């Protein structure tokens, strides 16, 4: 069986999410990686070094620069004549593109898999992670997206794949990229961080969010996250959001501060290794999943904690 | 332009799902069902576009058991003009739904189809993208802002790390993210009025679409349960625990 993996990148380097997808794909068969972009030779060279990648296809064309699904999906669907499965990480690009590929191939997609049970059987979360479904696909070709935190990351060295050029139809003429606003952060990336400090609505304001959460995160070398309530209230930008509708994370330590623990939030972080909760409401649902809980006023506790570290 | 809005009847988001003891699925007997929250946002956006004079008519469509009619009535009460119910036995997968919606789109010729980005039951996040592929239209997924100017649809999308803006040629597909808008509540008079709005009853056979399942669910199980944690009394004890975990020096 041969598998084509979508390489997530920014036309300069390979994004970490790709590495978990390579591991998942490796459980199915020979892994080839697709780099679609503009001026992405460096990305292809980097992808060729990933352990487990046998070949890299580089589709270098201005039409693929921003990974617009309208342009990229036909490219992938065309290449799929030589593959049994297409695997993409569950990133915003992966989720945008993969279903379009699946429909072009007339196959169902298996979203956000947690494990590969066999060549056609996978587990995936449903109902915001409150249930795990084991599903078997009857389609000849599989289209799969992979939950990054459920698989080990493939090593970024040790591979020696060849890089070959690939091409597709190019610009479909349906859409164009206007611009992007990427939030700047000096801290580790949320989905890749070992430690995450996350704040909720109890922080009360944007100023207090930064005044309380940021120093602790800096002390711990942690990424900063937020609950949907905190994001909706404008305390934190929306790419901080951890949850069913935001990012799914599984760090070694997750510190939930002033977060009640709604189902939607838990779906995004309950696979963290150790969960620490600081909340003044001792009946908050977050304490049902927390390994270590401290009941009290976060405005007193967190600065004291930061001071003692 | 006409706007088509597909809506799905799902387990209410406030209800904690219970996995059936025999592992065949989630127990949906006698539990509260509602419109998928992302679809409420889609209906709201369509109605706002109508209020701005961009849209001429808002058509809502639902696929599923006969009770999905309630979900369509809710959308009509919010302000949609008419509804189409495609009654289907059992669960229809996103690919099947997308094929039915393609057939509806062929018939109705909407300028825009607005869907929720994902349903909170199967968490697939596929239908909008699949419909875009089948119709050959552009897609603006995870939209936090939608502007229609002539036959151009400008969509601001929520992506990892921030947001990006794409320009699509109409007709186009948009899927909604949570921050697109705040859906309105249907007022009692509007709920009464919605009862007399047109609702067409169809079946997949009417559209000649095969909705056979491609995926077989072998088992549905509870997620692994986390072992009970401990509560610490004060900050010092918490610091000691953090040190024991190796995250603090």
> B172 contacts in A (CB within 8 Å)?
174
Class of domain A2-165: alpha beta
For the stretch A72-127, pLDDT in tens is 999 999 999 999 999 999 999 999 999 999 999 999 999 999 999 999 999 999 99
**Taking the domain A190-308, which CATH number applies?**
3.40.50.1220
Burial B112-145 (b: 16+ CB within 10 A, else e): bbbbbbbbbbbbbbbbbbbbbbbbebbbbbbbbb
For CATH 3.40.50.620, the residue range(s) in chain A are 2-165
CA-angle at B106, arms to B216 and B86, nearest 5°: 50
Looking at CA atoms only, how far is residue B163 from chain A in angstroms? 5
Structural domains of chain B, ranges and CATH numbers in brackets: 2-222 (3.40.50.620)
What ipTM, to 2 d.p.? 0.95
Predicted TM-score (pTM) of this structure: 0.93
Taking the alpha carbons of A36, A37, A41, A46 in that order, is the dihedral positive or negative? negative
**Block residue for tokens 């669960």:** B91
Please check the confidence at residue B228 and state whether its pLDDT lies above 80.
no
B247 → closest Cβ in A69, A195, A275: A195
Q: Which of B93, B170, B229 to mutate to test the interface with A (most CBs of A within 10 A)?
A: B229
> B133 contacts in A (CB within 8 Å)?
73, 99-104
Distances A213 to A263, A273, A307, A308, B6 between C-alpha atoms, Å:
22, 20, 13, 15, 40
Tell me what the mean pLDDT of segment A244-267 comes to. 91
pLDDT, position B249: 65
For the stretch A205-231, pLDDT in tens is 999 999 999 999 999 999 999 999 999
Looking at CA atoms only, how far is residue A53 from chain B in angstroms? 25
Query: Which residues of A line the annotated binding site for FAD?
Result: 201, 227-228, 241-245, 258-265, 279
Which H or E run includes B37? helix B37-51
For CATH 3.40.50.1220, the residue range(s) in chain A are 190-308
Cβ distance A99 to B133 less than 8 Å, yes or no, reads yes
Rounded to the nearest integer, the mean pLDDT of chain B is 95
Is residue A74 within 8 A of residue A64, CB to CB? The reply is: no
């Amino acid at each position: 069986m041969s598998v084509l993996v979508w390489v997530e990148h920014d036309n300069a380097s390979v994004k970490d999410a790709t590495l978990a997808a390579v591991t998942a794909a490796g459980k199915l068969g020979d892994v080839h990686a697709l780099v679609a972009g503009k001026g992405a030779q460096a990305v292809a060279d980097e992808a060729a070094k990933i352990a487990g990648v046998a070949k890299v296809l580089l589709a270098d064309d201005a039409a693929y620069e921003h990974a617009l699904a309208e342009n990229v999906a036909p490219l992938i669907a065309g290449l799929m004549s030589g593959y049994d499965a297409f695997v993409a990480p569950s990133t915003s690009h992966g989720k945008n593109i993969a279903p379009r590929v699946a429909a072009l191939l007339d196959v169902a997609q298996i979203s956000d898999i947690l494990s590969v049970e066999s060549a056609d059987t996978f587990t995936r979360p449903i109902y915001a992670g409150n249930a795990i479904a084991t599903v078997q696909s009857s389609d000849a070709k599989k289209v799969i997206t992979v939950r990054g935190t459920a698989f080990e990351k493939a090593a970024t060295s040790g591979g020696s794949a060849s890089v070959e050029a690939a091409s597709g139809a190019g610009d479909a003429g349906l859409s164009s990229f206007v611009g992007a606003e990427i939030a700047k952060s000096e801290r580790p990336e949320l989905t890749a961080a070992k430690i995450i400090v996350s704040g909720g609505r109890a922080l009360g304001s944007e100023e207090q969010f930064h005044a309380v959460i940021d120093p602790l995160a800096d002390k711990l070398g942690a990424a900063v996250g937020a609950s949907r309530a905190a994001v909706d209230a404008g305390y934190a930008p929306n790419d901080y959001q951890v949850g069913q509708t935001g990012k799914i994370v599984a760090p070694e330590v997750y510190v939930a501060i002033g977060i009640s623990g709604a189902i939607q939030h838990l779906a995004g972080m309950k696979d963290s290794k150790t969960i620490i909760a600081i909340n003044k409401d001792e009946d908050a649902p977050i304490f049902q999943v927390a390994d270590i809980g401290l009941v009290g006023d976060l405005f007193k506790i967190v600065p004291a904690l930061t001071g003692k570290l | 332009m006409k706007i088509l809005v597909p809506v799905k009847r799902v387990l209410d988001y406030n209800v904690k799902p219970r996995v059936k003891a025999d592992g065949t699925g989630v127990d949906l007997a006698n539990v509260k069902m509602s419109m998928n929250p992302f679809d409420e946002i889609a209906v709201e956006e369509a109605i706002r576009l109508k209020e701005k004079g961009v849209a001429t008519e808002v058509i809502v469509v639902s696929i599923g058991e006969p009770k999905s009619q309630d979900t369509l009535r809710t959308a009509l009460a919010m302000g949609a003009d008419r509804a189409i119910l495609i009654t289907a036995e059992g669960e229809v997968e996103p690919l099947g739904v997308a094929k039915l919606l393609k057939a509806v789109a062929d018939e109705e010729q909407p300028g825009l189809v607005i869907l929720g980005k994902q349903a909170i039951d199967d968490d697939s996040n596929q239908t909008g993208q699949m419909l875009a592929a089948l119709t050959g239209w552009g897609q603006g997924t995870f939209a936090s802002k939608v502007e229609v100017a002539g036959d151009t649809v400008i969509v601001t999308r929520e992506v990892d790390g921030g947001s990006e803006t794409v320009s699509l040629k109409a007709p186009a597909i948009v899927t909604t993210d949570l921050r697109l808008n705040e859906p309105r509540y249907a007022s009692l008079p509007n709920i009464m009025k919605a009862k007399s709005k047109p609702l067409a009853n169809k079946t997949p056979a009417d559209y000649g679409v095969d909705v056979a399942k491609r995926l077989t669910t072998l088992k549905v199980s509870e997620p692994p349960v986390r072992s009970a944690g401990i509560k610490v009394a004060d900050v010092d004890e918490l610091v000691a625990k953090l040190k024991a975990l190796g995250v603090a020096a």
